[in-house]
Structures are given as structure tokens and as C-alpha cells.
Amino acid sequence: MSQSINMFERRIGLVLNSPRSLLGFLYGLLSLPKNFKVDKARLVVAIGVRKLWLIKIFIGRDPRGLTLGNIVLLAQTSDDIYKHETVHVNQFLKMPLIFPIIYLVESAKKGYHNNQYEVEVRRR
């Protein structure tokens, strides 16, 4: 899972992730954006938001960040959280059609901290 992907694969992933990225952008707008950052090198749009209120309803706690496609929503601004979420962007790019499903299944089976995709992020 830790192998890098080339620019062609990144661009294909970007296109295939566009519906999720649009959803992330709309969710960012609903979460009262504070600021925007475009990272062209990583193909990431980061949106600082006041609170990820919808996710809190489902998981029962305030998340610090969330990635949907190539959109990173940050409820707390820090380089560590941004770097964490950009690893998820790369996971979306590697598996654009199935990543959200396998991430959720993995979390349901093993929990957030033992989810293999979260373990990968912590190793980096």
C-alpha cells in the first residue's frame, strides 16, 4: 500500500474521485469555511472549517479533519493533521472507486485506530 503513484495514475484518480471531491467541497461550504488552500503539487484543496458537525453526529466526537476525494476539510489547523489527511488523498487516488467503502468496512470491523489505512497514515 505504501508504493507511490505516478502522475498519470494521479490524474485518473482525480477524475474518478471528482464526485466525492464535489461532495467534500459542498460539505466544506456547509461547515462554514474559514479559509481555502490549493496544493497543486499534491492535487489537494484544503478547506479550514469551523466544525465538522455532520460527521460528529455519526461518530459522536469532533473530528479534526476529513478527506473526501481530493478535498481535505480541517476543523483544526495544524501541519500534522494536514499531512495525515493528504495521505488519505493518496489512498483515494490509488483506489478511487472503492476506497471509501473499504475504509468504512475496515473501520467497522477493526475500529478507527486499528483500521489498516489509519495504521498506514501513522507509519508515514
The domain tally of the chain equals 1
The boundaries of the domain holding residue 119 are 7-123
Give the pTM: 0.90
User: pLDDT tens for residues 50-94?
Assistant: 999 888 888 888 899 999 999 999 999 899 999 999 999 999 999
The mean pLDDT of the chain is 92
Position 67 in a domain = yes
**Percent of the chain topping pLDDT 90:** 79
Position 56 in a domain = yes
Q: Which one-letter DSSP state was computed for residue 51?
A: -
CA-nearest of 49, 4, 58, 57 to 24 is 49
Could you tell me the maximum CA-CA distance found in the chain, to the nearest angstrom? Answer: 38
User: pLDDT tens for residues 9-21?
Assistant: 888 999 999 999 9
C-alpha Rg value of the chain to the nearest Å: 14
Position 1 in a domain = no
Position 2 in a domain = no
